[in-house]
């Protein structure tokens, strides 16, 4: 069945994953339509609703803080709450009970129109208050896990430090085994799981929560492929002190997940928009997540395609991690155009380790690269791709894999209009590239020098050595090995 189970951690991650699930839902085809190119069983699970009807819902576990789910309820039209749910509680107390209810969040006009089956209104940055406001799918009650220890956007006790995430996971796991309660049910109903996909942020406390969660997953499933999308919130109008805190969280997260994940792809909105075709609001999670989803959903499209045109999560990870220690990869995406096979005008989503342009611009050696083309290609281009795919790899040469599908990225009514001159189009052509190369050596050395003094003394040496170890894994073995950046800090 090649199932992939998804883990969503945090608010920005859930915005991104909501776009992801809306996109997956759009691939369904019905009677009279051309058969879908996507194998729906990879990301969707069959079940039975409360009324005995068959259901088909996402294979995912969603975590968010109190107030993060908006109007989304744990039980929905497919899975209603059992009538006797409170019987056990009533038997423990014979006296009168008083019920205190918080004013529920009113569903958005978009959600109300979906429920009523009417034409949905156009979404705007002001009408999207929560990620559930533009969600087009139902979720199983077991998929929704609200953490009441912290409140979303709290100014009194913000969930923003790496240590807070680790402490929260430890306390919850001590009370009840998190994997047994939340994760294992989805694994046990899978026939042949090909891997796990994780959406998380690394620049806040969710980085600590994710690192502990990944450690538990790796202990439980030592041979499974774990693919992590590590996101960063935009730094527009963010004070310097908070930027340093985020940088410290990122360094600690990278150090922790390096040994646990099969592949980690950092995703951050480019600080400068190099292409005029894109216009988005960096202060809107709905806008930012839509762009992150486009590259993440497209890059792993081969893992959900039918037939020989696809590839598994493990195949993709092994193509990038050529020496066993290159767990981090960078993503880039070409924007819509007439020729999506061109490498120029691509947007780089790797923002860590920048030093204001002081990096020496020299040719980078590529270790591994996977490219996914989504859209129409000419007959000449298709034959060229088919001819260049099979050659045997020579030791020391880059490992490259090219995937092609005519399935374009859909532009749904839940997706913001971030592409100029694309309002009337229903889909766009996309080219994504995931790559490991020698530039990571400089990036991680820069990250090490930027964050060493921001981390507490008790962990400073460990994390500094860990980042140096990661940087060393991306060094070009053919070089002399001498580098100015190797000086001790």
Q: Could you state, in order of their start, the residue ranges of all structural domains in the chain?
A: 3-80+108-473
Q: Which two tokens stand for residue 69?
A: 């789910």
State how far the Cα of 79 lies from the Cα of 114, in Å rounded to an integer. 18
State how far the Cα of 16 lies from the Cα of 258, in Å rounded to an integer. 22
* Strand locations in 162-247 (E): 193-201, 226-232
3-state SS class at 117: coil
226-251 confidence digits (pLDDT tens): 999 999 999 888 899 999 999 999 99
* Residue 343 pLDDT exceeds 90: no
Confidence of residue 81 (pLDDT cuts 50, 70, 90): low
Residue whose pair of structure tokens reads 């600590």 in the numeric block: 208
Beta carbons within 8 Å of 399's beta carbon, 6+ residues apart: 319, 320, 322, 367, 368, 369, 393
Confidence of residue 487 (pLDDT cuts 50, 70, 90): very low
pLDDT at residue 485 in the model? 44
Angle at 195 between CA 258 and CA 269, to 5 degrees: 55
pLDDT at residue 225 in the model? 96
CATH of domain 3-80+108-473: 3.40.50.1440
How high does pLDDT run on average in the chain?
86
* Residue 25 pLDDT exceeds 90: yes
State how far the Cα of 386 lies from the Cα of 402, in Å rounded to an integer. 9
292-309 confidence digits (pLDDT tens): 999 999 999 999 998 766
Residue 52's region, left for phi above 0, alpha for psi from -120 to 50, else beta, is: left
Confidence of residue 94 (pLDDT cuts 50, 70, 90): low
Cβ–Cβ < 8 Å for 266, 351: yes
Residue whose pair of structure tokens reads 């992939």 in the numeric block: 4
Question: Which residues pair with residue 2 across a beta bridge?
Answer: none
Question: Which residues pair with residue 58 across a beta bridge?
Answer: 44
347-364 confidence digits (pLDDT tens): 899 999 876 554 455 678
State how far the Cα of 439 lies from the Cα of 364, in Å rounded to an integer. 6
H-state helical runs in 221-350: 240-257, 285-299, 313-320
Confidence of residue 480 (pLDDT cuts 50, 70, 90): very low
pLDDT at residue 33 in the model? 84
Confidence of residue 93 (pLDDT cuts 50, 70, 90): low
**CA-wise closest residue to 142 among 220, 47, 39, 215:** 47
Cβ–Cβ < 8 Å for 196, 224: yes
3-state SS class at 141: helix
Beta carbons within 8 Å of 329's beta carbon, 6+ residues apart: 263, 264, 265, 320, 368, 434, 435, 436
* Residue 482 pLDDT exceeds 70: no
């Amino acid at each position: 069945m090649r199932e992939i189970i998804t883990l969503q951690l945090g608010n920005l991650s859930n915005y991104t994953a909501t776009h992801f699930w809306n996109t997956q839902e759009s691939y369904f085809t019905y009677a009279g339509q051309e058969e879908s190119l996507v194998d729906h069983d990879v990301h969707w699970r069959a079940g039975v609703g409360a009324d005995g009807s068959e259901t088909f819902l996402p294979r995912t576990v969603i975590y968010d803080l109190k107030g993060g789910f908006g109007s989304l309820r744990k039980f929905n039209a497919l899975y209603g709450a059992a009538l006797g749910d409170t019987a056990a509680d009533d038997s423990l107390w014979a006296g009168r009970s008083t019920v205190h209810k918080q004013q529920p969040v009113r569903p958005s006009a978009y959600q109300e129109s979906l429920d009523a089956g009417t034409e949905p209104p156009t979404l705007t940055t002001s009408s999207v208050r929560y990620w559930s406001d533009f969600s087009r799918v139902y979720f199983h009650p077991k998929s929704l896990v609200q953490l009441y220890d912290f409140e979303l956007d709290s100014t009194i006790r913000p969930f923003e430090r790496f240590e807070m995430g680790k402490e929260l996971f430890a306390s919850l796991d001590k009370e009840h085994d998190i994997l047994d309660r939340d994760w294992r049910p989805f694994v046990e109903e899978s026939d042949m799981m090909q891997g796990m996909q994780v959406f998380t942020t690394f620049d806040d406390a969710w980085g600590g929560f994710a690192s502990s969660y990944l450690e538990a997953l790796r202990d439980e499933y030592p041979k499974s492929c774990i693919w992590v999308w590590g996101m960063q919130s935009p730094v527009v109008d963010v004070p310097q002190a908070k930027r340093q805190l985020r940088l410290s969280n990122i360094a600690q997260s990278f150090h922790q997940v390096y040994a646990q994940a099969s592949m980690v792809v950092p995703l951050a909105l480019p600080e400068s928009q190099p292409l005029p075709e894109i216009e988005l609001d960096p202060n809107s999670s709905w806008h930012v997540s839509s762009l992150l989803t486009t590259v993440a959903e497209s890059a792993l499209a081969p893992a959900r395609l039918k037939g020989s045109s696809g590839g598994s999560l493990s195949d993709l990870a092994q193509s990038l991690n050529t020496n066993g220690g290159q767990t981090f990869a960078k993503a880039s995406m070409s924007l819509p155009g007439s020729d999506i096979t061109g490498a120029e005008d691509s947007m780089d989503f790797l923002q860590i380790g920048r030093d204001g342009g002081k990096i020496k611009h020299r040719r980078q050696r590529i270790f591994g690269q996977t490219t996914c083309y989504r859209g129409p290609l000419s007959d000449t281009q298709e034959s060229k791709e088919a001819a260049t795919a099979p050659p045997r790899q020579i030791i020391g040469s880059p490992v490259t894999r090219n995937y092609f599908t005519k399935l374009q990225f859909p532009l749904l009514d839940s997706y913001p209009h971030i592409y100029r001159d694309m309002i009337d189009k229903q889909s766009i052509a996309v080219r994504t590239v995931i790559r490991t190369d020698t530039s990571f050596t400089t990036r991680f050395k820069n990250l090490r020098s930027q964050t060493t003094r921001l981390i507490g003394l008790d962990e400073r040496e460990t994390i500094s050595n860990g980042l140096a170890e990661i940087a060393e894994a991306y060094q070009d073995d053919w070089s002399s090995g001498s580098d100015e950046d190797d000086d001790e800090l």
